[in-house]
Amino acid sequence: MPRRAVPADPSIGDRIRARRQLRGWSVRHAAGRAGISHTSWSRIERGQQRTDRYMVVDLAAALECSVVELTGQPYVPADRQLDAARIDAERVWLEMMRHPPTEPSSVTNQHPAAVQRESNLVRDLYGRCDYAGAMHRLIGLIPALRLGENRREAVPVYGVVMGCLLNVGFPAHAWLAAEQCVAAAQRQDDPVGLAVAAANQARVLSYTGAYGPARAACDRAADDLDRDLSAPAALDLMGFLHLARAHHSAGLRDVAGAEAHLAEATRIADRTGETDAWDMAWGPRNVALWQMALQLDTGRAGEAIETARGIRVADLPAVRQVYFYMDMARALADVARHHDAVRMLLAAERVGPQHTRSSAAARETARLLLRRGSAGSELRGLCERMGVIAESSGA
């Protein structure tokens, strides 16, 4: 029987099938390697069962490939802004290669006040999910970060570089940004900055499914930070490290450990309240978002929806709103509230179009809704803007 050709716009299920067939494995054999039933594997290949962020790691390990090979990022852009973001992602990477923070700068015309203003601007653009706008300005900002007082801006700026690159699907480029963030923090010898840098490294690691190294990095950072919790924002960072380790623990199937870290983060957030140090938007709202995501990714969509009821979305920064709406779309799709799920995807796109159209989770949720018959004009329009070809979905 001839193999089915991989379509021009392959879904995760299409890529899983192609990779399995490349290995010459049966569905039963591949499913056994992943520790799931052959029925579940078959449903995933046909797009009838959603893969959460943890399952796709197991599938990639079973198929002996990277997570990115299955998610297919970066995607072919469907609009001019994402096209510009992809081009500037390569230019940002080249600037990081040419101007590492550990070497002296040859740039002499960047006044510290001007660099600080530019740093504030790119951080604001990132917070509004304008990754193309941020990366375009980062090209000129990165060389100035090695000069004298400008080094103070290096850690938060490299955090923006990492986040932009990761959110438009360039994890290898993002890893270089995370490493340079660590190098910049080490030059400043700031325990809080070092914890921020470690959290950035862990974010890239967990994005690619390396949950063990990610958790270990946050464990080390928390141990170091615990020696100086009196430093400004140290307690905020400690709470965030607990959130990150909750995510990593869930990825390692340690749900009890994840719940313990989440409980500790909740305790710290109750003590600190809402803060904005290091652009984290730390506090009880952030903890609730992570709790919602943890519930969703551990098969508790109903609990995630209940948690969401207590979150005032309008009070969240734009980038957090996008994560909220995308998670709500996944949860509502899981409980067969398809119309509401489409509405949440459209809300995510309205707040952060570049983020939503670049998201593997949002794209696969849209595909799933198409396959389940939610093929109204609004969803089809979103798929067109994402570059998702509806005809390839099998609907």
Is residue 139's pLDDT more than 70?
yes
CA dihedral over 369, 371, 374, 379, signed as positive or negative? positive
Q: What pTM does this model have?
A: 0.84
Q: What's the sign of the alpha-carbon dihedral 178, 179, 182, 187?
A: negative
The answer to whether the CB of 20 falls within 8 A of the CB of 30 is yes
Q: Which of 196, 96, 99, 95 is nearest to 146 (CA)?
A: 99
One DSSP character per residue, 161-221 reads HHHHHHHTT-HHHHHHHHHHHHHHHHHHT-HHHHHHHHHHHHHHHHHTT-HHHHHHHHHHH
Q: Which helix (H) or strand (E) holds 264?
A: helix 255-272
Tell me how far the alpha carbon of residue 78 is from its chain's centroid. Answer: 20
pLDDT tens track for 195-228:
999 999 999 999 989 999 999 999 999 999 998 8
**45 compared with 306, residue with greater pLDDT:** 306
The rounded Cα 359 to chain-centroid distance in angstroms is 8
Residue 211 and residue 214: Cα distance in Å, rounded?
5
State pLDDT tens for residues 151-209. Answer: 788 999 999 999 999 999 899 999 999 999 999 999 887 889 999 999 999 999 999 89
Of 45, 78, 66, the residue nearest 362 (C-alpha):
78
- 85-106: average pLDDT: 85
Query: Domain map of the chain by residue range?
Result: 12-71, 301-395
CA distances (Å), 215 to each of 55, 93, 202, 256, 282, in order?
18, 26, 7, 15, 19
Q: What is the gyration radius of the CA atoms in the chain, in angstroms?
A: 21
Largest CA distance in the chain: 67
Average pLDDT over residues 299-321: 94
Percent of the chain at pLDDT > 90 equals 57
Among the residue ranges 65-69, 76-80, 124-128, the one predicted with the least confidence is 76-80
Instruction: Return the closest-CA partner of residue 207 out of 243, 256, 162, 258.
Output: 162
Please state the CATH superfamily assignment of the domain spanning residues 12-71 in this structure.
lambda repressor-like DNA-binding domains (1.10.260.40)
> Of all residues in the chain, what percent carry a pLDDT higher than 70?
91
CA separation for the pair 265, 359 (Å, rounded):
27
The DSSP code sequence of 277-329 is GGG---SHHHHHHHHHHHHHHTT-HHHHHHHHTT--GGGS-HHHHHHHHHHHH
pLDDT in tens, 316-343: 999 999 999 999 999 999 999 999 999 9
